[in-house]
Structures are given as C-alpha cells and as structure tokens.
C-alpha cells in the first residue's frame, strides 16, 4: 500500500515551501513506487486576512518595521496568547485541512510551520488519531515557543540546543525528538570545481581575474544592499559585486539608478534568479542576512559570510553560530562591511584560515536522512 504524505506549510518567507518541495521530491526519488506526496498551503482556502497578515505582514515587518515584528514574535511566545490565537485561527482552517486529508486519503502528515502544528493535530484527530504527525522545526538554533506548544507530534530538530530546549524547557518526550543536520538544497552538496567556476563566470559575463563579492538576502533581497553598494563605490574597491534583489523591484531600480549615476563598473545586478548555486560558488565572500538556509548553504561550499542584518529573536541563534565559531562576521555598518571584505580578500593566509574553520565544522545535508525517517516512521 502506497504512503500518501501531506506536507503542510505557509508562505511566510521561502524556507517553509522550499523545504516541503525538497522533502517531497527526495521522497519521490528514493521511493518512487511506494509513495505519493501532496503539498498544502495551510491558509490557501482560509480567510484572506490570515494570508495577508501572516504572509505579507511577515515580509513587510521583517524588512521595514523590524521592531514591530520583534514585539509580535515575543508576544506570541506567551502561552495565553498562543491559546487565544489558536481559538481565532482554528475555526477557519481546521475544516479545510480535514477536507484536504480526506480527499487525498493522507496517511502521514508533515508540518513545516509552527502556527499550523496544532491545526494539523486537530484535523488529524477528526479523521484518525493514528495518522502520524511529524513537525519539522525550521529554525535551527533559536526556535519560537509555539514550535513546542503541541506535545502530540514527532519533532525533527537541527541542533542539540533545540533538542535540549524541547525536552527540558517545554517538556516534550525525548523519545519523540529526532535530530538531523539541517536540510539544504542538494545543489550545495559539493563546491564547484575551478573549471565549473570559470565556465559560470564566462556565461554570466563576470570577470575572471577579480575577487567576487555576492550580496543577497532571499526573495526580497538584502534590505541594506543600497548603502552597502554605496560604500563600495565610495571606497573604490577592486572587488566585483554581484547583487541579487529577488522580487524587490524598487531595490533593483534604485541600484540601477545609483550605478548609472556613479558610473561604477565593477557590479552586476540581478532580480529574481534560478541560479543562486552558480552565484554562490563563484563568490569569494557572501554578504547576507541571518536566515539559516543561505548561511548554511554558503558554509557547505566553503564560503565565508558577513551578516549585515538579522531578525532579533528569530535569527539570533544563526548569527551567534556564525560568529562564535568564527565562520564569519556580524557587521551592521556598511562602511565596516566594506572594510572587512577588503581585509578578507587581501590576506590569503587569513582567508585560508577561515575556510579551514568552515571545513572543520563538517557541515552535512540532512535532506536524505530526514526523508528516509519520514518514510520509515510508523512502519513496523
């Protein structure tokens, strides 16, 4: 009998959906004859205000009103608030999820967003309490309390720190906590060879003889990209900049105007791209934000990182992981970012020491192991 696995996510940032797609694709690769996968946006057919609040609100506040997001993040960590929030959201979402589970005859549920775990449990309980629920804590080092609010779930975590918090602070059964390396795109499992790097640079029109600095920050670009680029222009650095703006058209247009006005030549600006592995592999240094995916993907191919911004609370652990292990730097001031880049790229010995520390961390991709765990869980 085929397993029919439902992956439940929200589009708050790109990580939850990309994680669902990566796991479903890997499961189909590993067990093509024994499995079917179904992806479901938890608010797809719910109340539009929820989608607006959680999706657009997340992107808007994290990029333009961070203090508001931090206050909301801390407030929703209080148990009375979590209980109240569930009472508000559940009536509009549980029924839709029940319909999804029934119509697709789902035999196992994987939840990739903290808000939806209790919703998934309620929906499962209406159909068959024995349907396994596996929740994947997508934040590797700093996890919101709501991840641990529902106790009747298997919990996949990415660090010993979160494993310890789940059992000691939140009282989850240690037998139901399962630790794996962070899920990464398999495109970052191996760094490019020198021949591949040369070919990519040629294809994209990137100079072969210059040090490359990549500035990227996910689907909305890096919010400090413009002042950082301006600092590079003022410092007259010899490094070649690649800036990825994602879907942020105002950022792309403002940078293009800045480059035209300044006549700065050592730069290439992209909008949304499908070839981030190419750009990250040809880079000598990556300036980014504190999200876990880009940071760990960069480290997995041996690239030092500079974090110019991170979301207080949610991404604090990611920043500390980088800085405390001396794998990169947190530098919020654009002029200081440029100074650090100059130091890194002008000192080969220092650069090699950083790469050696990154290699020593032995960063692995947990995607295959997590997919195998999901498939095998509950099979006697």
Cβ contacts of 75 within 8 Å, gap of 6 or more: 81
pLDDT of residue 318: 94
Calpha distance 31→81 (Å, rounded): 41
In the predicted structure, residue 179 carries a pLDDT above the cut 90 = yes
Tens-digit pLDDT profile for residues 261-286: 888 889 999 999 999 999 999 999 99
Mean pLDDT for all residues in the chain = 89
In the predicted structure, residue 221 carries a pLDDT above the cut 60 = yes
pLDDT of residue 255: 92
pLDDT of residue 285: 96
Kindly list the domain boundaries of the chain, sorted by start residue.
3-183+365-376, 188-360
In the predicted structure, residue 59 carries a pLDDT above the cut 60 = no
pLDDT of residue 61: 55
pLDDT of residue 106: 97
pLDDT of residue 110: 98
pLDDT of residue 60: 54
**Segment 298-319 mean pLDDT:** 92
pLDDT of residue 82: 72
CATH architecture of 3-183+365-376: 3-Layer(aba) Sandwich (3.40)
pLDDT of residue 350: 86
Q: Which helix (H) or strand (E) holds 346?
A: helix 334-346
Sheet holding 133-136, edge to edge: 35-41, 3-9, 108-111, 133-136, 154-157, 177-179
Cβ contacts of 370 within 8 Å, gap of 6 or more: 23, 136, 156, 180, 183
pLDDT of residue 83: 76
* Same fold for the pair 3-183+365-376 and 188-360: yes
Calpha distance 261→83 (Å, rounded): 53
Q: Which of 74-78, 115-119, 137-141, 334-338 has the lowest mean pLDDT?
A: 74-78
More confident site: 119 or 93? 119
**Segment 356-366 mean pLDDT:** 92
Tens-digit pLDDT profile for residues 15-57: 678 889 999 999 999 999 999 999 998 887 666 666 555 555 5
As a CATH number, domain 188-360 is 3.40.50.2000
Sheet holding 305-309, edge to edge: 267-270, 240-244, 212-216, 285-289, 305-309, 328-330
Calpha distance 124→130 (Å, rounded): 8
């Amino acid at each position: 009998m085929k397993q029919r696995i439902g992956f439940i996510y929200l589009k708050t940032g790109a990580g939850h959906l990309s994680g669902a797609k990566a796991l479903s694709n890997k499961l189909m690769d590993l067990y093509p004859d024994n499995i079917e996968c179904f992806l479901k946006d938890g608010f797809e057919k719910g109340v539009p205000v929820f989608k607006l609040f959680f999706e657009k609100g997340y992107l808007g506040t994290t990029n333009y009103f961070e203090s508001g997001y931090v206050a909301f993040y801390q407030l929703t960590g209080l148990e009375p608030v979590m209980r109240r929030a569930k009472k508000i959201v559940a009536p509009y979402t549980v029924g839709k999820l029940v319909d999804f589970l029934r119509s697709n005859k789902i035999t196992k549920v994987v939840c990739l967003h903290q808000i939806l775990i209790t919703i998934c449990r309620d929906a499962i309980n209406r159909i068959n309490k024995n349907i396994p629920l596996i929740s994947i804590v997508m934040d590797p080092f700093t996890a919101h309390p709501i991840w641990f609010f529902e106790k009747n779930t298997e919990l996949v975590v990415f660090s010993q720190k979160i494993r310890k918090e789940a059992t000691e602070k939140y009282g989850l059964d240690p037998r139901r906590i399962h630790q794996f390396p962070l899920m990464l795109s398999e495109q970052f499992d191996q760094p490019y060879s020198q021949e591949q790097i040369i070919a990519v640079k040629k294809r994209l029109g990137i100079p072969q003889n210059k040090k490359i600095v990549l500035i990227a920050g996910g689907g909305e670009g890096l919010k400090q990209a413009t002042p950082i680029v301006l600092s590079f222009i003022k410092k007259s650095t010899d490094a070649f900049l690649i800036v990825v703006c994602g879907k942020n058209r105002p950022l792309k247009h403002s940078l293009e105007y800045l480059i035209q006005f300044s006549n700065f030549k050592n730069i290439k600006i992209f909008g949304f791209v499908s070839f981030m592995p190419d750009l990250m592999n040809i880079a000598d240094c990556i300036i980014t934000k504190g999200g876990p995916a880009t940071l760990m993907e960069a480290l997995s191919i041996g690239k030092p990182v500079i974090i110019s911004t991170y979301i207080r609370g949610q991404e604090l652990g990611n920043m500390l992981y980088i800085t405390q292990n001396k794998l990169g730097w947190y530098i919020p001031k654009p002029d200081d970012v440029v100074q650090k880049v100059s130091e890194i790229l002008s000192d080969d010995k220092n650069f090699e020491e950083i790469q050696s520390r990154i290699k020593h961390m032995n960063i692995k991709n947990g995607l295959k192991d997590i997919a195998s765990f999901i498939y095998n869980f509950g099979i006697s």
